[in-house]
Structures are given as C-alpha cells and as structure tokens.
Amino acid sequence: MDFNLSNSKLLQKIQPNREQSTKKLSNSEVNAAIQKYFQMTKRKEGNIPNPTISTTQSSKILGQLVTKVSPSLDISVPIKPPTPSGTQSYRPLSEKKPHHRPQQSVGQSKDLILQKLQTTLFQKPKTQSHQTTPKCNGEESVSVSRYFESSKKLKGESQEYYLTRVKNAFSRPLMDDYFSRMYREHFYQTYQGIQVASYLQPVYPNDLQNKQVHLKQKECYKNKITIVFDLDETLVHCNENLAIPSDVIFTIQVSPQEKIKAGINVRPGAVKLLELLVKDFELIVFTASHPCYAQKVIEYLDPQKTLFSHSLYRDNCIMTTGGMYTKDLRIFNRSLSQLVLVDNASYSYAWQLDNGIPIIPFYDNKEDRELELLLKYLKGMQNCKDVREYNRNHLRLQYFQDPSGPGLVFERLFQQKMQI
C-alpha cells in the first residue's frame, strides 16, 4: 500500500469535519446529550422524578463514557495470495462490512484508504464475552497471590516481551488458540494505528499547550521512571451489557438524578502488578474514558490510594482531526527519557513511539498472563538512563512506521516471512 500521502491534501479533506468530530466526542457534548435524554424521558413520563433507563439506553450511555478499542477476533487469515483488486480482507468473508488490509490498496482513493483504516481500528466484536474470550473451566488455575510465581519458560529460546509472541503466532506450526489469534490481530491493529496516527493532526493547534499538566512528584520518585497505564482493555474491561458475567458491577452517577450500572472484568494480576511496581516506579493512570466512570474503576483498583500517584482522563487527551483520542506524553512535566505508556491501542502513543509499550487487549479470559510478562519487561528497564533506547532495542516499534505493509514489517523484525 502506498502510504506516501500528502499531509496537506489529507488535512484539507479532514478539515471540514473538525467541528463535527469535536462535537461527537467531546466531554461537554456527551454530558449535554445525557442530560437531554433525561429531560426528554421525564417529559414523556409526565415529570416522574426518577425515570427508568432501559437496558439499551444504559448501554448506549455507557458506550459514550468508555473509550476502548476492541479488535475482532473472529478472523480467518487466507493462505492464498490476495486478489488483484486489493479488496480481500484477512477477516471473515461473512462480515457485511469490508475491511481493509493496509498493503492492498490498488485503485482506491487516499481518503477512502484512511477511512477504511480507521474503521478497522474501531471495529468491535459482535459479542465480546462469548465470541472473543471463552471462559476457562472451573476456578482460576493460579491464585492472585501466586500469579507472578507461575512463569514457565517457553521451549527453546529466551523470551522477548510482545515480539516473541507475535513471531510465534505467525510461524509454523500455526496455532489457532485464543492468544495466538489475539496476537495476530493485535499486530495488524498496532501497525494500522501507527500508520493512521501519522496522517492526523490535533484538532486544535494549541491543544498541547492548553493541556499541559503539572503533577507534583513525591520525593521517593525523584530520578525514577514514571509508568503511565491505560485503563480499559489494559487493566480492566467494561461490559456494556449487564447480561455478560462480570467480576464486579459499579453504579455510576451520570447526572444529579440518574445512575447507570457497568460490569467490570479485572485483568488477572492487575492489582498485584501495581503493588510490585509502586516501590520502584511512579505509577499514573491515563484513560480516554469519562471520569465519572473511570474514577469508580480506579477507586476499586486502588481503594487506599497508595498505588497511583495521579489520574488523567478524557479531557487530558489530544483529539485528532480523525476523531481519535491520543495521549501525548509531552503534556507531562516529566522527562520523556523517564516516561513510558502501556496501552493496547498503538495510536495512543504514536506521538512518542519510543515511549510506548504495547499489550494485547483484555476482555475476560482468566488464563491471561500478559501482566506477568509485562512485569519482567518493566523491571528490566528500572535503571535505564533513557527508556526510549530500551524500548527501541526490545520492542522495535520504529519498524511499524514502514508504509510497505505489516508483512514486510514482520520480515524486518524477524528475518522470516509470515506463514499466514
């Protein structure tokens, strides 16, 4: 796919939609829409003080409060070469909506290519719990207290965080287990997110300056690395449908009169990870979700307020011309040489690629052990003078900037071709 697009032409295409994107996604507009809904409901119900919110309406409201990227896992990657038309997708043919594979763009307009890339990024599973994350049988195989003692070395070679799993997922013998499929999908999503973000600009040029935050740093964290954690799909997952089993259900106050409920699944080992890191790293949570929802989750993970030093929310994000919330680390009063962002969405850290640490998304799979692998990676950077150099050497995300397509990126990373 030819990604040598003209930024100026692309921005001209996007410019007319700036107001529309901002209106659709801003905090104030979400609040206004919620308030309007409540007012209309009260009028229809004859000014009843506490109108009942239907399950459907509750899910819609919650969907506006929670920002997440949920890659679809019902993929069937074709072994045969792509068709000359460039329209074949690595997703199932049964899906009604066409999906775009970055390296296949013959005959398509540049703005259509970008639109398809963004559509792929925001694709959600039709039924997240049952389709993407099958429940394991019986109780959890490892208790939380013993979670980080359960590591078993995979056969053969030393393990490299994230990249080893990506390599194994695309290598023979090809595996079709849940995590292999997850890594294959996430590899494509990471590539697409970085490519899309490279074309987009902040909606407002002064956003970076206006969103600067001055966070006080405790004396014990002076000269220590700051780890910024994403929330949704990284530490927890929010079930918008209460019919899906959840670890805990929160009541969220969305207006002075009205509340909705949200089911939350906590990633295995999440709290334990934070407890093991907090002595040696400053921990901050940075989410693109609405604070009325996110604060409930953070309070649940850190009830004593001893783990997270600070919390940032949707208003702290930089929104792009394409309507994407990104997390520009330059808003922090911390040195970029001592600052990393752990996030399942690659476009979140695309502004500072060398500061980003990818992680596959979590939904409800209790066999998930990604945080155990993440702990080892983070501990390895503890005394680094510059975390960007550490990430470049171990994650090599700079290779994902190659516009030639994910297949060639894979070849550069591992000196072998994809088997899919």
User: Residues 193-204: pLDDT tens digits?
Assistant: 999 888 888 888
Residue 208: pLDDT over 60? yes
In the prediction, which pLDDT does 29 show? 63
Average model confidence (pLDDT) across the chain: 76
In the prediction, which pLDDT does 313 show? 96
More confident residue, 133 or 402: 402
Read off the pLDDT band of 315 (50, 70, 90): very high
Say which range, 143-147, 164-168, 204-208, has the weakest mean pLDDT: 143-147
More confident residue, 136 or 314: 314
DSSP secondary structure, 43-82, as one string: HHTTS-SSPPPPHHHHHHHHHHH-------------SSPP
pLDDT cut 90: percent of the chain above it = 50
Tens-place pLDDT, residues 356-385: 999 999 999 999 999 999 999 999 999 899
Q: Give the dihedral sign, CA 218/220/223/224.
A: negative
Cα 371 to Cα 50, 167, 174, 233: the distances in Å are 42, 19, 24, 12
Type of residue found at 135: K
Tens-place pLDDT, residues 221-262: 999 999 999 999 999 999 988 888 999 999 888 778 888 889
3-class secondary-structure state, position 304: coil
- Characterize the bridge pairing of strands 248-253 and 226-229: unpaired
Residue 267: pLDDT over 70? yes
In the prediction, which pLDDT does 111 show? 57
3-class secondary-structure state, position 16: helix
Q: Taking Cα atoms as reference points, which of 32, 117, 106 lies closest to residue 69?
A: 117
In the prediction, which pLDDT does 191 show? 95
In the prediction, which pLDDT does 97 show? 31
Backbone angles phi, psi at 413, to 5 degrees: -70, -40
Contact between residue 163 and residue 413 where contact means Cβ atoms under 8 Å apart? yes
Residue 78: pLDDT over 50? no
272 vs 277: CA distance, rounded Å? 9
In the prediction, which pLDDT does 253 show? 84
3-class secondary-structure state, position 366: coil
Contact between residue 187 and residue 406 where contact means Cβ atoms under 8 Å apart? yes
160 vs 169: CA distance, rounded Å? 14
Q: Per-residue pLDDT averaged across 269-284, rounded? A: 97
Contact between residue 305 and residue 290 where contact means Cβ atoms under 8 Å apart? no
More confident residue, 143 or 254: 254
Q: Give the dihedral sign, CA 100/101/107/113.
A: positive
Contact between residue 343 and residue 356 where contact means Cβ atoms under 8 Å apart? yes
Provide the CATH topology of domain 1-134+150-420.
Rossmann fold (3.40.50)
Q: Which helix (H) or strand (E) holds 266?
A: strand 259-266
More confident residue, 41 or 384: 384
Which DSSP symbol is given to 390? H
Read off the pLDDT band of 314 (50, 70, 90): very high
More confident residue, 254 or 279: 279
Read off the pLDDT band of 23 (50, 70, 90): very low
81 vs 265: CA distance, rounded Å? 39
Q: Per-residue pLDDT averaged across 331-343, rounded? A: 97
Residue 396: pLDDT over 90? yes
Q: Taking Cα atoms as reference points, which of 380, 354, 370 lies closest to residue 277?
A: 380
164 vs 183: CA distance, rounded Å? 10
Read off the pLDDT band of 114 (50, 70, 90): low
pLDDT cut 70: percent of the chain above it = 63
Residue 294: pLDDT over 60? yes
200 vs 14: CA distance, rounded Å? 9
In the prediction, which pLDDT does 101 show? 30
